[in-house]
């Protein structure tokens, strides 16, 4: 079935998606439902990716680095020409808010599924956008938007505004190039870091300074406009749960939002869109002062994202709409499918971003293979671009999936989402699943007592220390091994089964595991009624954890969003580990060394920064794990290093 526009013209028949991962998959699904042929593009790193397999056609656009593929305008347009695509959907990120790309599409006679280039340009730089909004009568956060970018001027303006302040990249988003500064003494270092990250991520080091609201709620409004002068808002989303200014959990509607404030914020968002002659999907982001509850006179414009947002599924959840279909219809020249009076929110929706990262190590992104992946999708929506066996590479965002739950109430949605995340099984990579489950169960979250400081305040609770294996964990791992042996028996020959069968009495076997350098034993007792598992002197029932065998023969136990990995005890490996010491700091992933803080001969203390590594478009500080003396520095600023490359060596402690 081919969809047509409102005036009977045929919708474009071929759509190229200039993106990757879950958003490419999500666009493909809607386009397929609308009878539109889809064309995927891919880099060398994504040749076997899910979006490539799903599309009707796929074309290679370059090597793995985004600058040589997904950010390469000529390669995208060449692919569109080769495939005969009449339209390009940019997704989000990459070229989605690139004015040059939107203009190049127009020049090539290809429909850009997004706003006009002039609207992208007007809202693309935060300082210009704020000035424009102020002229349009939309309240903006107090701050400095000037062209004088000297450190002295910026520091002086920050002092005038009053600490704490926020340094923000004018061309940025996603928390990149953003730093909170609490005192004048910290300003210079924060400014240098923000500029460096902004230059790397956006090619523009310019920043603005704005007042940091001490109890802020990050609330944004989904807007839609067509080319016929119509504009509506699709209500608000609360994105206050953030880490390093990156959204973690989003929901709609915002907790505690009154009808008066919803109307005021929605009207301000529509006014912002009309001020730039907007068309298509956009999001107007506001900061609200929640120190005295949400009030209609206590919110300010922050920025406008001229694209579809990562968190758009929660809006779809409460409206029942397909926002990608709306995008395609508006891009084809149709009027908006509904008027403001025909729109109303229904129930509550919450989205959690499931990342490959290690919360125990400062949420350091994880790279590697998803050896085991099973989403608990009953009653929830899972937007993903990966499958079991796929790799999370160092080249792109480490998101595994977005998991979205809808309920009649906020409590119902939160319970559904927490249950789904707790029963999702992932092994091969560390994830933030258990962290998300704890956040969704938190009493303050459930009571709606949230702001952008929620995660930093509760970090010790949300990310507790790593726990040791419990006896029931060892029993579950041993039970898995015993069951695996039975399944491996050739031809089902019972006499070959390693199941401890005896005509009389019981047989015992000791299975040994290692975890975090510790040797752990469980006895398997084979009896007529099956196996018993003994740890110490106690008979232990195996836990209900899901269990999987990894490629290196380790055993992964998955329960409650946590994945614990046990290795079969190897005395030779243990001996080698005992004889080695941590005498260096290495790169935890491939990246670029951007700063070195120490030199040979320096004495450092535990936690002291040693170097800064840029990886996955973010900066990561490498710190000393203990008091030590620097023996040598093995890298210099500007070096591209691989995972495991030694950056700093310490002098070994002398024996007493």
Catalytic residue set: 307
Q: What interhelical angle do 312-319 and 323-331 show, nearest 10?
A: 100
φ/ψ region of 362 (left if φ > 0, alpha if ψ in -120 to 50, else beta) reads left
* Helical segments of 277-373, H only: 312-319, 323-331
CA–CA gap between residue 631 and residue 600 (Å, rounded): 5
* Residue whose token pair is 């695509």: 85
CA–CA gap between residue 626 and residue 135 (Å, rounded): 54
Task: Name the token pair of 648.
Answer: 């700093």
Task: Give the Å distances, CA to CA, from 36 to 55, 87, 329.
Answer: 11, 10, 12
According to DSSP, residue 68 is labeled: G
Collect all residues with Cβ–Cβ distance below 8 Å to 495 and sequence separation of at least 6. none
Helix and strand tally (H, E) in the chain? 18, 38
CA–CA gap between residue 157 and residue 152 (Å, rounded): 9
Bridge pairing between strands 530-535 and 518-527: antiparallel
According to DSSP, residue 258 is labeled: -
CB 294 within 8 A of CB 258: yes
CB 596 within 8 A of CB 571: no
Collect all residues with Cβ–Cβ distance below 8 Å to 189 and sequence separation of at least 6. none
Q: CA-based diameter of the chain, in Å? A: 91
* Coil vs helix vs strand at 652: coil
CA–CA gap between residue 436 and residue 400 (Å, rounded): 13
Minimal CA–CA distance to 609: which of 359, 363, 243, 362? 362
Q: Which helix (H) or strand (E) holds 107?
A: helix 99-107
Cis peptide before 253 (omega within 30 of 0): yes
* Coil vs helix vs strand at 35: coil
């Amino acid at each position: 079935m081919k969809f047509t526009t409102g005036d009977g013209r045929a919708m474009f028949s071929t759509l190229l998606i200039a993106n990757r991962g879950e958003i490419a998959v999500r666009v493909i699904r809607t386009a397929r439902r609308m009878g539109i042929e889809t064309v995927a593009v891919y880099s060398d790193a994504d040749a076997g990716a899910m979006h490539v397999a799903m599309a009707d056609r796929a074309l290679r656009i370059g090597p793995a680095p985004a600058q040589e593929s997904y950010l390469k305008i000529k390669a995208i347009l060449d692919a569109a020409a080769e495939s005969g695509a009449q339209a390009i959907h940019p997704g989000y990120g990459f070229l989605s808010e690139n004015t040059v790309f939107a203009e190049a599409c127009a020049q090539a006679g290809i429909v850009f599924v997004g706003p006009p280039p002039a609207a992208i340009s007007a809202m693309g730089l935060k300082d210009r956008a704020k000035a424009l909004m102020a002229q349009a009568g939309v309240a903006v956060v107090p701050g400095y938007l000037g062209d004088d970018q000297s450190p002295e001027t910026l520091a002086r303006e920050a002092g005038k505004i009053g600490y704490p302040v926020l340094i923000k990249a004018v061309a940025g988003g996603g928390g990149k190039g953003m730093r909170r500064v609490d005192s004048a003494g910290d300003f210079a270092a924060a400014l240098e870091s923000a500029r460096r990250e902004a230059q790397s991520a956006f090619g523009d080091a310019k920043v603005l300074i704005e007042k940091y609201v001490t109890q802020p709620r990050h609330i944004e409004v989904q807007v839609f406009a067509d080319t016929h002068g119509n504009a509506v808002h699709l209500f608000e989303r609360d994105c206050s749960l953030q880490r390093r200014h990156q959204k973690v959990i989003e929901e709609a509607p915002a907790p505690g939002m009154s009808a008066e404030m919803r109307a005021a914020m929605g009207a301000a968002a529509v006014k912002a869109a009309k001020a730039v002659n907007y068309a298509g999907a956009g999001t107007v982001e506001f900061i609200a002062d929640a120190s005295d509850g949400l009030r209609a006179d206590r919110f300010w414009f922050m920025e406008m994202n001229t694209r579809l947002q990562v968190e758009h599924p929660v809006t779809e959840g409460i409206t029942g709409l397909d926002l990608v279909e709306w995008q395609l219809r508006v891009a084809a020249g149709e009027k908006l499918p509904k008027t403001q009076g025909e729109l109303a929110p229904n129930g509550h929706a919450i989205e959690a971003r499931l990342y490959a990262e290690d919360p125990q190590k400062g949420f350091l992104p994880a790279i590697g293979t998803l050896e085991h992946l099973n989403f608990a999708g009953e009653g929830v929506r899972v937007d993903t671009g990966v499958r079991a066996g796929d790799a999370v590479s160092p080249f792109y965002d480490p998101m595994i999936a977005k998991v979205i739950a809808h309920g009649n109430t906020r409590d119902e949605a939160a319970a559904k989402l927490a249950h789904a995340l707790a029963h999702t099984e992932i092994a091969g990579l560390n994830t933030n699943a258990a962290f998300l489950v704890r956040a969704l169960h938190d009493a303050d979250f459930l009571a709606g007592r949230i702001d952008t400081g929620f995660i930093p305040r509760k970090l010790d609770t949300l990310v507790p220390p790593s726990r040791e294996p419990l006896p029931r964990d060892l029993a579950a791992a041993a039970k898995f091994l015993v069951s695996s042996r039975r399944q491996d028996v050739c031809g089902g020959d019972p006499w070959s089964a390693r199941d401890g069968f005896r005509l009389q009495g019981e047989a015992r076997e000791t299975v040994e595991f290692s975890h975090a350098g510790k040797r752990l034993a469980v006895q398997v007792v084979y009896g007529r009624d099956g196996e018993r598992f003994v740890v110490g002197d106690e008979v232990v029932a195996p836990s209900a954890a899901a269990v999987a065998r990894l490629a290196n023969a380790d055993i992964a136990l998955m329960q409650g969003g946590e994945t614990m990995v046990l290795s079969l005890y190897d005395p030779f490996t243990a001996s080698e580990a005992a004889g080695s010491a941590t005498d260096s700091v290495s790169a935890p992933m491939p990246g670029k060394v951007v700063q070195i803080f120490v030199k040979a001969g320096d004495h450092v203390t535990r936690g002291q920064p040693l170097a800064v590594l840029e990886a996955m478009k973010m900066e990561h500080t490498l710190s000393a794990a203990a008091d030590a003396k620097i023996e040598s520095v093995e890298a210099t600023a500007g070096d591209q290093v691989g995972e495991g490359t030694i950056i700093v060596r310490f002098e070994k402690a002398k024996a007493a």
